[in-house]
Amino acid sequence: MPDGPIISARDLSVTLGGCTLVHAEAFDVLPGRTHVVMGPNGAGKSTLLRAVGGLIKATGTLELAGKPVCSGRDRAVLRRATASVFQKPYLLSTTVLGNVEIGLRLHGIGARERGRRARAALELLGIEHLADRRRDGLSGGEAQRVSIARALAVEPQVLFLDEPMASLDPPTRRSLMTDLFDVFSQRSVSAVWVTHDREEAAAVADHVTFLTDGRVRQQGTASEVFGRPQSEEVAGFLGMETSFEGVIEAQDGAVCLVLVDGTTLVVGEAEPGPALAFVFPEDVVLLRHLPESGETSLRNCLEGRVAGVRSSGRLRLVDIVRGDLRIVAMVTQAALDDLQLGVGDAVVAGFKASAVHVLPRHHGHAS
Amino acid sequence: MELILEGIVEAFRLLFGGDADVYQIMLRSLWVSGLALLVASLIGLPLGVTLGLSEFRGRHLTVATVNAGMGVPPVVVGLLVSLLLSRNGMFGFLRLLYTNWAMVVAQVLIALPLVTGLSLAAVQQLDPGFRLQIVALGAGRLQAFWLLLKEIWVTLLAAVMAAFGGIISEVGAVMMVGGNIRGQTQVLTTGVVEETRAGRFPTAIALSIILLLLVFAASLAMTIVQQRGRRHA
């Protein structure tokens, strides 16, 4: 497998009526890696995917295996070298096997080889028993599996997936995610995966491009983007609902963030100066009372009051206020019951120094 | 009432007794409308699908023209064709007025906007993502066109059958351009008019029954095909 990018885009822009829908200075698809494009709805993720996949015209430089993609003919070559799966499965009015064969047929593969590869793809997705079924008899999850099998059957150099899980129910999504993870590992699939779901992104991403309003806000490895968001926008999207503004200072051998109200938080490594800091709700622990010194490894414990409790699936998000500060903790309903917490109750929000993600003010556009 | 019952009995005798005039009129109707439908479909289906899939300057005007064409009264088409084919008309030299060919031309002009407009509507009902998926599978322009046609063929067939129903039962235009000449250009609809005027009700009823049976057979065929298409979707 070559080391260089299979698809490489530079200064790629899609415009419509003089308006730039999306712009990416650099976008690479590396062999055997999954590049997740994430961001809120309307960020331009699907447009970027379609431009990179040669499905729509774009300005800038686009290369497939080092060869420039310029003309309509080049884009056709790019399309035949790749395959796409969309949010809807878009199955043709034929059998499941016929659907999986269609891409191979369009690639000019002979009947015998077509049948063999189509059945192998169905087996890979665990749906060989559906081969003779027609599209109307399939569930949403089965139809999406057929769509993925159809894409994989042509053995694409890059697989594009545009919100492939968005219309599936949670159990179906989990099952398909698990199977896809195995397929991707077995076959070293190179993929571009568009999603607005951060859990989905975190599960599959090797590289991440974060978009809002058609612009790339952050790009990097999954651990870089998820661990060190470079703007409030990215941090907010990743679910870091708790943010602090202050100044990083060294105090008693520790790196601290001194907040406007004088509260001091111990943080991990950070450069001195004005900074924003974010904490994931799941990193915040709730206590009824301030722990005694040495009783806990939590370096930061802030007293406040419960302002509200929200549902987040099976978990609960607890809003805690302390003056102008707002801290959000994610806990189970059982934990909430154990603590006997209700709105207005006093509570202590604790989190480790390593849970505080610091963003120097000069890096982002924090306001 | 007695007149009607007698007429119906006589009509069945004409139908099943092999009356040459009645069968000749029926076959002429089928030939004229069948040929007109074939020509209109060969032009209208690709035109409607292409219009539905294309983006070009003036598309809205073109679509509006097609839609307006669906509502043009057949007598207006008859008048237009009469003017064009009359001795002093643009195509008068062809000497087609008051022939079966003139009726074919008129029916093509009536059926064409119907086939085009209804097939255009069929394409526009398709999710745009479907086309994108087909292109993403590596289909070229013609391959994508063919695959999309296969997806909407039942609706396209409905468009064709609707046009058939429209022209087989049309009377104004064929009367004007065909002249309703007995034994030469008389078709089922114009035959019913003439036989009724002349008080030959049994023949008029027989021709009407044939007309109704043809329209019913066309509808039945379409329904069967649609139901099969739905089962195989």
- Give the model's pLDDT for residue B3: 72
Given a cut of 90, whether residue A112 has pLDDT beyond it is: yes
Backbone φ and ψ for A142, nearest 5 degrees, come out as -65, -45
State whether residue B146 sits within 8 Å of chain A by CB.
Answer: no
The verdict on a CB contact (< 8 Å) between A90 and B151 is no
Given a cut of 70, whether residue A188 has pLDDT beyond it is: yes
Indicate the average pLDDT of chain A: 91
The verdict on a CB contact (< 8 Å) between B233 and A102 is no
Out of A10-19, A236-245, A325-334, which region has the weakest mean confidence (pLDDT)?
A: A236-245
Question: Confidence band (pLDDT; 50, 70, 90) for A229?
Answer: confident
Give the contacts of A244 (CB within 8 A, at least 6 positions apart): A257, A259, A265, A276, A277, A278, A279, A325, A356
**Segments of chain B with pLDDT less than 70:** 229-233
Given a cut of 50, whether residue A363 has pLDDT beyond it is: no
Neighbours of B169 (CB within 10 A): 16
Give the contacts of A111 (CB within 8 A, at least 6 positions apart): none
Are the C-beta atoms of A310 and A319 separated by less than 8 Å?
A: yes
Q: Give per-residue pLDDT as tens, A312-323.
A: 878 899 999 998
State whether residue B143 sits within 8 Å of chain A by CB.
Answer: yes
Q: Which whole number is the average pLDDT over A163-185?
A: 91
The verdict on a CB contact (< 8 Å) between A150 and B137 is yes
Q: Which whole number is the average pLDDT over A52-67?
A: 95
Are the C-beta atoms of A90 and A147 separated by less than 8 Å?
A: yes
Please tell me which residue, A365 or B57, carries the higher pLDDT value: B57
Chain B positions touching A79 (Cβ under 8 A) are 135-136, 138
Helix (H, G, I), strand (E, B) or coil at A249: strand
Q: Give per-residue pLDDT as tens, A272-303.
A: 999 989 999 999 999 988 888 767 788 899 99
Backbone φ and ψ for A355, nearest 5 degrees, come out as -85, -5
For residue B90, the domain's CATH number is 1.10.3720.10
Of A227, A208, A204, the residue nearest A218 (C-alpha): A208
Given a cut of 70, whether residue A365 has pLDDT beyond it is: no
A127/A97 Cα distance (integer angstroms): 10
Q: Which whole number is the average pLDDT over A317-344?
A: 91
- Give the model's pLDDT for residue B66: 93
Q: Give per-residue pLDDT as tens, B28-60.
A: 999 999 999 999 999 999 999 989 888 888 999
Question: Which chain A residue has the Cα nearest residue B229?
Answer: A93
The verdict on a CB contact (< 8 Å) between A93 and B132 is no
The verdict on a CB contact (< 8 Å) between B143 and A76 is no
Using CB atoms and an 8 Å cut-off, which of residues 188-227 of chain A contact chain B?
none
Beta bridge partners of A218: A210
Could you write out the DSSP letters of every residue in A324-335? TEEEEEEEEHHH
Given a cut of 90, whether residue A80 has pLDDT beyond it is: yes
- Domains annotated for chain A, with CATH where assigned, are 7-227 (3.40.50.300), 233-360 (2.40.50.100)
The verdict on a CB contact (< 8 Å) between A136 and B233 is yes
A340/A357 Cα distance (integer angstroms): 30
Backbone φ and ψ for A357, nearest 5 degrees, come out as -95, 115
Q: Give per-residue pLDDT as tens, B155-169.
A: 888 889 889 999 999
Out of A145-149, A160-164, A277-281, which region has the weakest mean confidence (pLDDT)?
A: A277-281
β strands within A170-212, DSSP E: 191-195, 207-212
Identify the domain containing residue B190 by its residue range. 2-231
State whether residue B139 sits within 8 Å of chain A by CB.
Answer: yes
Expressed in angstroms, the distance from the first to the final Cα of chain A is 45
Q: Give per-residue pLDDT as tens, A94-106.
A: 999 999 999 999 9
Q: Give per-residue pLDDT as tens, A20-48.
A: 999 999 999 999 999 999 999 999 999 99
Size of interface A-B (CB pairs under 8 A): 55
Of B136, B140, B151, nearest to A55 by CB-CB distance is B136
- Give the model's pLDDT for residue A4: 87
Number of domains in chain B: 1
State whether residue A55 sits within 8 Å of chain B by CB.
Answer: yes
- Give the model's pLDDT for residue A164: 94
Q: Which whole number is the average pLDDT over A72-100?
A: 95
Q: Give per-residue pLDDT as tens, A60-76.
A: 999 999 999 999 999 99
The verdict on a CB contact (< 8 Å) between A92 and B136 is no
Residue keyed to tokens 């999306």: A22
